[in-house]
Amino acid sequence: MAFEKAKVLKAAEKFLSQGKIPAAIKEYRQIVDNDPDDLTALNMLGDLLARAGEKEEAVTCFTGIADHFREQGFFTKAIAMYRKIEKLKPRDPATASKLADLYANQGLVVDARAQYLVVSDAYTKAGDTKRSLEVLHKIADLDGQNTEVRLKLAEGYLKEHMQADAAKAFTEAATRMFENGEYEKALAAFSRARELRPNDRAVLKGLVSAHTALGAADDAAELLEKAIADGADDPDVAVMLAQAYIDAEDAAGAERITGLIVAEDSREYRRYAEVARLYLKLGNDNDAARVLGVITETMLAGREENDLLELVNEVLARAPEQVASLRLLSRIYWWQRDTENLRSALERLAESAETAGLDDDERYALTQLVRLAPDEPRFVERLTALGGFIDEPSEAPNPARDPSLAGVPSFESFAIISDAAPEVPHTPAAGTSVSDEFEFNSVTDERVSDASASFADLNDEIEDNQAGSKLVPDATSPGPASSLFKFDDGSEQPPAMEKRSASSVEALLRQELESVDFYITQGYSDIALDTLELLERQVGSHPEITARREQLAAGKPGVSVADTFSAGSEVVTSGSQLDAGIESTVDITLGELDGSGLAREKSPTVERSPTVVSSGIDSGLAEIFEEFRLEAEEDDSSPTEDFETHYNMATAYQEMELLDEAIREFQTAAGLASPVDGTAKYFQCCNMLGHCFVKKDMPQAAVIWFKKGLESPGRSAEEYTALQYELGSAYEHMGDLTRAEAVFTEVYGVDVGYRDIADRLHALQVRKMEKKKKKR
């Protein structure tokens, strides 16, 4: 017999409407058995099983849905389903592990950390310290700037004799410390890592950098010399040593090591330039010229004559008459075929050589000058006085007679009689290809609301961006004042919103405290506490906030929101019961709420049970675990908040009927937006919060958020009309027919054909008339 799904579904819904849960479960089982891909039926079956007390089977249903969403990349929906599982199986390590990974993927650091701690506790209690440490490593990775946590993690690895992991943790902590300018701490951490991994080049490099930053480059050089003596044949070590000698201003040591480096790899010849600059810095001009002479021909062959010219001019700026540098200057101009500057350089060389009594150098310079300017009698006369032309190489000046000439190429190597360049391999200057990094930001066009559509579907504007890209303000419209967006295109970032005056802060405080009083009066203690938390983060500590916390802690009569929701009870909203209290509780002066004031709500942390340490765990390691846990729990900082992440998460919670979680996330998202930031974000949050409160049968709270949305500027007439319609519906839901009629009349006056406004308004008027007749 063929399975008739529609018939079975109709029967299940009938049993459900009659309150026959077991019979409805039986029908939904048939649907799931015959159509395993029907996630809606599977979710309904799970809900019914949970109501019937069959928690394990309900968890199985929800797990299948959650795993499906996770595998398909619907991470926010997966989180919502795992949260349903978490309510049925609190502190379950498997669920917590999946939730933690998903939270981390979404950038929700605080939530991820809370779940990872649950997993770590489970491993610790089971005596599996290695896996516990792996989880703690994940927690440390959530906040790379927390170096203290990473150091504790390293100590934990040492307790377990996991040297490689400990060394890695020490290195990561040291690197962060170095980047933060904590050089002494970085040196200590790098030293610990080197004790564990003495041959690790990254650790050695970190140690050298820390020593140098502390002004102890000589210690760095000593460390590197020892590493080479111990057999380190890595060229990078020699390079680090050469740099260490330069930082320590040990020119002789730097030249010695540079010679070894170039002997191994001739392409490293430019390192001699740094040595020359160091000699120059130390006032040793002759050695600077000598070192430059070593690389002159190689740099010329590599077409680096301009760089070489700059270096030679630096020497001549300090010693204008130095013969060795003038010889190099003449060689460069000869290479460039710059006869004008060549003649000037040769004249300077001849004069300096005459002053220094270096006849051979003077004769050679004059020989070239006579060939360049044969009509100049003074060159000929002086050259004749010195003995005439020098044509034979044997008559070339002997560098041994002038120590400053050692290493400088002989003059005949670039005499006029020979134009050929020396046979030096062409070594191009090493260049680094730098690719510019761009951040491609998508720009989402703002949509105009359709009056014919349900206003509850406003979240579609956000869900279009659920594929992972963040919303970025249009370049032509003002962006939000928060730090949510990066302006990588060079445009000027919109100025931050001005700080509130003391009077506006007081007004905001009074307004929000009225909301809190309303929540307390209605018995919604959970939402009252959440609002107080947000308010305290916004305006700081205040006696009124403390007083209301004490009032809630004292256990004043009232039903908590969580209890009301879980029990499935309904709030009675008949007119007779509401009339007495509506006037005093609903007509709240809302004012415009500055979105920058809504701070990030502290994410709910998983209740921490006392750690039960297995007898197999070292007591010192247990202490490290506890310190790590306290450190993680005390640090409630999180990276830059992401509006889309919280909004999408809230939407997923709402779809899964996890309304408390949805409200929390929508409130957080509202805190990351502003009513005056030029976007619809704050407005949308107000709308969705209103709908959530309506679903929770809390129309009074819905009215508050709908009003806040209507007070936010810059929205279209269609959007305001849609939200007014929802506000009127909320008033009607709470039994305030007078206000509902007034709001609906305003909507009707603007657009007589808007949705079913005419019928709704007529029905309200009829109800009011009947109510008046009954009173008579």
Q: CATH code at 591?
A: 1.25.40.10
Residues 724 and 575 in one domain: yes
pLDDT beyond 50 at 251: yes
In angstroms, the CA 58 to CA 417 distance is 98
629 pLDDT band (50/70/90 cuts)?
A: low
Q: CATH code at 417?
A: 1.25.40
Mean pLDDT of 70-96: 90
Total residue count of the chain as it appears in this document: 776
The C-alpha torsion from 323 through 326 and 327 to 328, rounded to 10°, is 130
- Specify if 613 maps to a domain: no
In angstroms, the CA 556 to CA 463 distance is 41
Q: What is the pLDDT of residues 282-327, one digit of tens each?
A: 988 899 999 999 999 999 988 998 999 999 999 999 888 888 989 9
Mean pLDDT of 241-260: 92
Q: Which DSSP state fits 676?
A: T
Mean pLDDT of 172-179: 90
Q: Residue 417's closest CA among 376, 389, 385?
A: 389
Residues 531 and 658 in one domain: yes
In angstroms, the CA 624 to CA 618 distance is 10
Q: What's residue 246's pLDDT?
A: 92
Listed range (249-263, 342-356, 438-452) with the worst mean pLDDT: 438-452
Q: What's the chain's average pLDDT? A: 75
Mean pLDDT of 204-229: 89
Residue range(s) defining the domain that contains residue 678: 502-600+638-775
Q: What is the pLDDT of residues 696-730, one digit of tens each?
A: 889 999 999 999 999 988 888 888 899 999 999 99
- State which of 403, 426, 449 marks the end of a domain: 426
434-438, 555-559, 771-775, range with greatest mean pLDDT: 771-775
Listed range (312-321, 351-360, 385-394, 576-585) with the worst mean pLDDT: 576-585
- DSSP for 572-632? ---HHHHHHHHHHHT-----PPPGGGSPPPPPPPPPPPPP---TTS-HHHHHHHHHHHHHH
Residues 221 and 362 in one domain: yes
- Specify if 450 maps to a domain: no
Q: How far is CA 766 from CA 757, 760, 772, in A?
A: 14, 10, 10
What's the token pair of residue 743?
A: 């709001």
Are 674 and 596 a contacting pair, CB within 8 Å?
yes
Cα-to-chain-centroid distance, residue 657: 31
In angstroms, the CA 161 to CA 167 distance is 11
614 pLDDT band (50/70/90 cuts)?
A: very low
- Specify if 257 maps to a domain: yes
pLDDT beyond 90 at 508: no
Which amino acid is it at 653? Y
**H/E element, 502:** helix 502-522
Are 367 and 383 a contacting pair, CB within 8 Å?
yes
430 pLDDT band (50/70/90 cuts)?
A: very low
In angstroms, the CA 705 to CA 515 distance is 11
Decide which of 175 and 642 is more confident.
175
pLDDT beyond 70 at 416: no
Residues 514 and 377 in one domain: no
Listed range (564-568, 691-695, 739-743, 751-755) with the worst mean pLDDT: 564-568
Mean pLDDT of 467-480: 36
618 pLDDT band (50/70/90 cuts)?
A: low
Residues 274 and 368 in one domain: yes
72-81, 474-483, 684-693, range with greatest mean pLDDT: 684-693
Residues 408 and 519 in one domain: no
Q: Which DSSP state fits 472?
A: B
In angstroms, the CA 713 to CA 690 distance is 18
In angstroms, the CA 528 to CA 526 distance is 5
Residues pairing with 443 in the sheet: 472
pLDDT beyond 60 at 168: yes
Mean pLDDT of 81-88: 90
pTM over 0.75: no
Q: What is the pLDDT of residues 101-158, one digit of tens each?
A: 998 888 888 888 889 989 988 988 888 888 888 888 888 888 777 788 888 888 888 8
How far separated are the first and last CA of the chain, in Å rounded?
Answer: 63
Residues 413 and 506 in one domain: no
Q: What's residue 592's pLDDT?
A: 33
Total domains in the chain come to 2
Residues 508 and 402 in one domain: no
Identify the residue whose tokens are 């506890």: 626
Are 669 and 680 a contacting pair, CB within 8 Å?
no
Identify the residue whose tokens are 């983060």: 537
Q: What's residue 641's pLDDT?
A: 55
Mean pLDDT of 640-665: 81
pLDDT above 90 coverage of the chain, percent: 25
Q: What's residue 93's pLDDT?
A: 93
Residues 391 and 298 in one domain: yes
**H/E element, 343:** helix 339-356
In angstroms, the CA 66 to CA 86 distance is 12
Identify the residue whose tokens are 């008046």: 772
Q: What's residue 245's pLDDT?
A: 92
Are 690 and 730 a contacting pair, CB within 8 Å?
yes
- Specify if 24 maps to a domain: no
Residues 586 and 676 in one domain: yes
Which residues have CB under 8 Å from 535's CB, separation 6+? Answer: 509, 512, 513, 516, 545
Q: What's residue 539's pLDDT?
A: 72
Q: Residue 393's closest CA among 360, 424, 421?
A: 360
- Specify if 396 maps to a domain: yes
Q: What is the pLDDT of residues 742-763, one digit of tens each?
A: 998 999 888 888 989 899 888 8
In angstroms, the CA 269 to CA 259 distance is 9
Q: What's residue 677's pLDDT?
A: 85
Decide which of 761 and 595 is more confident.
761
- State which of 426, 447, 468 marks the end of a domain: 426
Q: What's residue 625's pLDDT?
A: 63
- Specify if 103 maps to a domain: no
- DSSP for 714-772? S--HHHHHHHHHHHHHHHHHTT-HHHHHHHHHHHHHH-TTSTTHHHHHHHHHHHHHHHH
pLDDT beyond 70 at 691: yes
Mean pLDDT of 189-203: 90
Q: What's residue 192's pLDDT?
A: 92
Q: What's residue 661's pLDDT?
A: 84
- Specify if 129 maps to a domain: no
Which residues have CB under 8 Å from 404's CB, separation 6+? Answer: 286, 289, 290, 322, 323, 324
Q: What is the pLDDT of residues 529-547, one digit of tens each?
A: 777 877 776 677 888 888 8
Residues 408 and 514 in one domain: no
Residues 520 and 383 in one domain: no
In angstroms, the CA 411 to CA 345 distance is 13
- State which of 377, 394, 426 marks the end of a domain: 426
In angstroms, the CA 602 to CA 86 distance is 19
- Specify if 557 maps to a domain: yes
Are 444 and 465 a contacting pair, CB within 8 Å?
yes
Q: What's residue 624's pLDDT?
A: 61
pLDDT beyond 60 at 597: no
Q: What's residue 766's pLDDT?
A: 86
Which residues have CB under 8 Å from 532's CB, separation 6+? Answer: 516, 545, 548, 549
